[in-house]
Structure 1
């Protein structure tokens, strides 16, 4: 799986941009700051620097682990004690970098360190010939050594052109076997550590969707949604990005007709806290290059 120089450069450019913007965006997470303002400012940084968003900026609070972002007119603010996951995806010509960090507005330092340590443990093992189950075992061991649980039903994932969830899948717990890493593979490793059950479920709220089928729509709101989704080439978009009214009716119709796939907010049990750390890697002959570090 040897990539040419042009593709390699695009992955590296996306990674460098994602790294810069994530740090700046995470720096906006402060007590009493508006979630909506933080999300819109961070997303704007990507386009201002010549990139495109691979998915809406994910900002997940406390027990939520993934797939949350600002709603239209969102009135949420960051508060003392919150544990905030900021997950950013950038694409350059369809080649994606995916990276995340956790911002601690409370006293969750050991939990934040658990996911960071797990990420570094897994990165240290990456090289051709390694089985992904070994990465999962390293992640699980590091998190448990810190006294927490890994989130077993969330995984890292391959990053193909315009595809956020390609092969290989990188588990966050030990498993037998799995894909064998090869030179040229590109993927994200993203450990989640939790004080809760170690398994996330789906909330009822959905803010993020992606188009999975190309069929016509009759409702004006559905047509506007597809006008937003179509240029994304299968990459996710936010409800917040769709102009006009009656958007909920259009989304419901398109999901029911199998044209859109919804991504509900994923969360552990109420009252728990989840931390996340994530980098994108390219497997090289001797090991790996972390594009987002």
Structure 2
């Protein structure tokens, strides 16, 4: 109704996959009983982004789901101008560990800028020695991840999400057409291959190698642990914090 568009492809990351899974064209995968499903969605109006995530438990992992949810709301309780991101990380870590789980240490919350879905500051999900002091005017996404695994993720080979990081000239006509389409429709926001009119794998890979596109491979917990996630976007004001994704 307000003219919003997707800020990035909907992430539907299941079980040990923590982030960046989005379906291929004509994907026929079905949810299974027992799945832990993370839904991470974003919308923007003229580049101004709201980013949020929830976890849906299709089995018996309610404690894992509550660990990240309670960590988010505990973090929101301490989030305000002049608070350090290290304090937010401490609260997230303490809350997740109180449930007997671990935070994922190499996934973070983040700032949001026009047409930039991941900007400084990084908001770690654990206590750091130093942090960034929040200032009025900042827009941030607080994003706890909890796991029953070791607490780290790495890339796996599957990748369906990309963003444009350079529009430098390229010789191939189809590559130029892809760049033109992305610039027109998505600018620097992430997009899914299925959103493009054509997306030959070899051409997409070539554009990544040439530093024109950035890839976002699926991130999975290294020990195969289940992962839960919750996220809200907030605007920091001088004397208030506005949660825009409630």
What TM-score comes out, normalization by structure 1 length?
0.81
Alignment partner, residue 282 of structure 1: 235
Deviation at 1:224, TM superposition (A): 3.5
Deviation at 1:278, TM superposition (A): 0.1
How many residues in Structure 1 have an aligned counterpart in Structure 2? 245
Alignment partner, residue 206 of structure 2: 253
Q: 2:39 aligns with which of 86, 89, 114?
A: 86
Confirm whether residue 237 of structure 1 aligns to residue 212 of structure 2. Answer: no
Select the structure that is richer in helix: 1
Q: 2:135 aligns with which of 179, 182, 185?
A: 182
Alignment partner, residue 162 of structure 2: 209
Alignment partner, residue 88 of structure 2: 135
CA distance in 1, matches of 2:95, 2:171: 52
1:39-97 Cα shifts (integer Å, max 9, x gaps):
xxxxxxxxx76211111111101000111100122121111111110000100111000
Secondary structure of residue in 1 paired with 2:150: coil
CA distance in 1, matches of 2:14, 2:175: 30
CA distance in 1, matches of 2:238, 2:32: 45
CA distance in 1, matches of 2:163, 2:113: 16
Deviation at 1:167, TM superposition (A): 1.9
Q: Report if the CA contact (8 A) 1:82-1:106 is conserved.
A: yes
CA distance in 1, matches of 2:79, 2:156: 34
CA distance in 1, matches of 2:132, 2:223: 34
Confirm whether residue 102 of structure 1 aligns to residue 68 of structure 2. Answer: no
Structure 2 runs not aligned, ≥5 long:
none
Q: Report if the CA contact (8 A) 1:129-1:182 is conserved.
A: yes
CA distance in 1, matches of 2:172, 2:203: 7
Secondary structure of residue in 2 paired with 1:76: coil
Confirm whether residue 155 of structure 1 aligns to residue 111 of structure 2. Answer: no
Deviation at 1:227, TM superposition (A): 3.0
Q: Report if the CA contact (8 A) 1:183-1:284 is conserved.
A: yes
Q: Report if the CA contact (8 A) 2:150-2:223 is conserved.
A: no
Alignment partner, residue 166 of structure 1: 119
Mean CA deviation greater in 220-229 or 263-272 = 220-229
Provide the alpha-carbon RMSD of the alignment: 1.4
Q: Report if the CA contact (8 A) 1:228-1:241 is conserved.
A: no
What TM-score comes out, normalization by structure 2 length?
0.96
Alignment partner, residue 118 of structure 1: 71
Q: Report if the CA contact (8 A) 1:55-1:237 is conserved.
A: yes
1:233-264 Cα shifts (integer Å, max 9, x gaps):
211110111223x6101101101111011011
Higher relative contact order (CA 8 A, sep 6+): 2
